[in-house]
Structure 1
């Protein structure tokens, strides 16, 4: 995730980050510029269309559709940001549940070996969940101090969660945890699986294909028809105008595509690995 100062306007305006949409759109902007030049040349130099030509009235269509495309892109970006923010809230609840579970267990348990096991397995669940959501391979080095073998063909976070529940159940059967204490820590244990399921729902349920495809087609045909009307009023100055219009509309769509899945490796995705490291540090401090 990109760290930045939101008050530093100069950096935003004049410095292009590697994840900036401008870098990604440069090839298409170049093509759009050549296309616009070709349309202007044909209308002005080759066909020599007069001001009375009906082609000039195409700009009326753009005026009517401009409001529609702005609503569509506004809804698109808001929906994508809602998914990003929901993912952040879920990982925030995972941080709180990990701390609460560690705090309760640190007071309830007196056996150092039990504390050591839970001190390692709780951050392990968070780390595996982060890798599970980003489709990364899970390293066996994570489990070198714990008798746990991950089966890669099965749901990895569930295997670690089962180990945690199994350990808590053993502590209850041995009398190290009472029934009331088991009920007290059950909410934190359940939150782990709830967060995992909610994150998987975000990851595995993209924006409907027909909606996403329609917006891309809409932007494409909107931009492709812009030079026909602008060539009459702006001449060759329509080239930078069309390029800038394409940049704005396409950038909004690219931003929405990037943040609608907040668990990947893009620059603006959630820093789940960093959050995992913080949880590990806090749990080790408490237990």
Structure 2
């Protein structure tokens, strides 16, 4: 994710466009349309074919309005997914803090083992979840892994789910051993359940993209509009139709591809959520609550830029 300060530097913010893989894709497509529009316009102008391609520009204005409505729906749907994902990770921050506070308050002060166990597993749940929503959990990023944990995690296809199981098993064991009473167990169980609720909500967002037919139809519509646009503009604007076609296509394709980028908010594109950074923020918060310290492992801010 690109970090910037709102309304700080207008032209400084524009430089971030060069870092976006989506913007690179847009500019490549715009250049191709520019070449195509140049071929069409130069051919029509040099061969004096304007009388054969006299298209009514009002039709394209109407089509542009229809296309704009479809793009607004597309962008709003993508942003809803992005914002829903952000709310889920915001809830994860709050609920992990609550869970850590419950553990710290309910267990005896001298029970450092349970605090270390919960700090490690709550942190690893969040780190594993961030990577699970991308290409799968990377065990080398988890903290304080014992050899037994590593062997167990290597056999699991869903590491965050297994870590949540380990957390609950330890709480259930504490309840059976009467380390915590019935009321505390009921309260802390609700906090643990919220972890799985958030996990399921994020998986729903990840695995339910915009319907394929709708996405393909919109791409076909934009492509057809871009290919026909030079024919509609050439008799009125002549060679100026080339930059006009490029600019209109830039606007339409840009909205579509930006919506496509934020549709999956868990990746490493420039506008995706900083879930890795949030997970490590949770790690620091949890260890401060449970052990009044930061974990030993240090980590630099994750770079949310796609290499091209």
TM-score, normalising length: structure 1 = 0.94
Determine the C-alpha separation between the residues in 2 that align with 1:23 and 1:286. Answer: 44
> Residue 10 of structure 1 aligns with which residue?
11
Determine the C-alpha separation between the residues in 1 that align with 2:126 and 2:185. Answer: 21
Tell whether the 8 Å contact from 1:87 to 1:199 is kept in structure 2 after alignment: yes
The CA RMSD measured in Å over matched residues stands at 1.7
> Residue 35 of structure 2 aligns with which residue?
34
Tell whether the 8 Å contact from 1:226 to 1:242 is kept in structure 2 after alignment: yes
Residue 15 of structure 1 and its aligned partner are, at CA, apart by 6.0
Flag as ranges the 4+ runs of structure 1 deviating above 4 A. Answer: none
Determine the C-alpha separation between the residues in 2 that align with 1:15 and 1:143. Answer: 37
Alignment of 1:58-207 (within 5 A): 58-110=56-108, 111-139=111-139, 142-145=143-146, 147-148=148-149, 149-207=152-210
Tell me: CA distance 1:240–1:21, structure 2 relative to 1, closer, same or farther (3 Å).
farther
Determine the C-alpha separation between the residues in 1 that align with 2:278 and 2:30. Answer: 37
Determine the C-alpha separation between the residues in 1 that align with 2:103 and 2:156. Answer: 32
Structure 2, unmatched stretches of 5+, are: 291-308
Structure 1, unmatched stretches of 5+, are: none
Tell whether the 8 Å contact from 2:21 to 2:269 is kept in structure 1 after alignment: no
Q: Which of 210, 214, 219 in structure 2 is aligned with 1:216?
A: 219
> Residue 258 of structure 1 aligns with which residue?
261
Size of the alignment, in residue pairs? 284
Residue 120 of structure 1 and its aligned partner are, at CA, apart by 0.9
Tell me: CA distance 1:85–1:137, structure 2 relative to 1, closer, same or farther (3 Å).
same
Determine the C-alpha separation between the residues in 2 that align with 1:104 and 1:137. Answer: 27
Determine the C-alpha separation between the residues in 2 that align with 1:165 and 1:34. Answer: 61
Tell whether the 8 Å contact from 2:134 to 2:266 is kept in structure 1 after alignment: yes
Tell me: CA distance 1:79–1:205, structure 2 relative to 1, closer, same or farther (3 Å).
same
Determine the C-alpha separation between the residues in 1 that align with 2:22 and 2:125. Answer: 35
Q: Over residues 151-184 of structure 1, what are the superposed CA-to-partner deviations in whole Å (9 max), with x where a residue is unaligned? A: 4443211110110010001100111110100011
Point out the more displaced range, 179-188 or 140-149.
140-149
Tell whether the 8 Å contact from 1:43 to 1:49 is kept in structure 2 after alignment: yes
Determine the C-alpha separation between the residues in 1 that align with 2:23 and 2:264. Answer: 21
Could you say what secondary structure the match of 2:50 adopts?
coil
Tell whether the 8 Å contact from 2:206 to 2:264 is kept in structure 1 after alignment: yes
Residue 20 of structure 1 and its aligned partner are, at CA, apart by 6.2
